[in-house]
Structure 1
């Protein structure tokens, strides 16, 4: 994925293995992407706070990890803004599973 900000505003692109570029509002890649999409699609709202959006992204990855044996590891989350970016977190998914386990099971 490639993201950035230009005169037209924010941009998010997915580049596939053949070099094709796709523009969109949201992407999930990898073997667990359908699980992540399910969580994000069901929780996404226009009026979300930034913290709620961060939490939703984490949840998507945690649920994908729980359901897909090839997903997991570390959540590296960045927030792209008009004037730059910040690193939001670098969370171990196994610790996040314990945080969300009551709602997962």
Structure 2
């Protein structure tokens, strides 16, 4: 699994650094420093607008990428299952989009 995140975003970077401390089989790619074949087709705006996860041949974006990533992390698996429940998933999607828009605009000048 590969996680693509915006390392120029202080909040995004802090969160990913927290995940890096846990024992897992995840590669983390800072898209502000490099571009990878799995996200090469995305425009710069789409790439920096959301977090992305490449897992088992599929590219996930936004709130879905967190669910996929967390489902592979022992301490976060339960949260992934809870947030995947139908009604809760819709609320999670909305919250993620609001936060992601704010962070994108806040950090747009850095990319």
Output the TM-score relative to the length of structure 2. 0.27
Mark the structure with the bigger radius of gyration: 1
Higher relative contact order, chain-length normalized (CA < 8 Å, sep 6+): 2
Considering fraction of residues, name the structure with more helix: 2
Structure having the larger proportion of residues in strand: 1
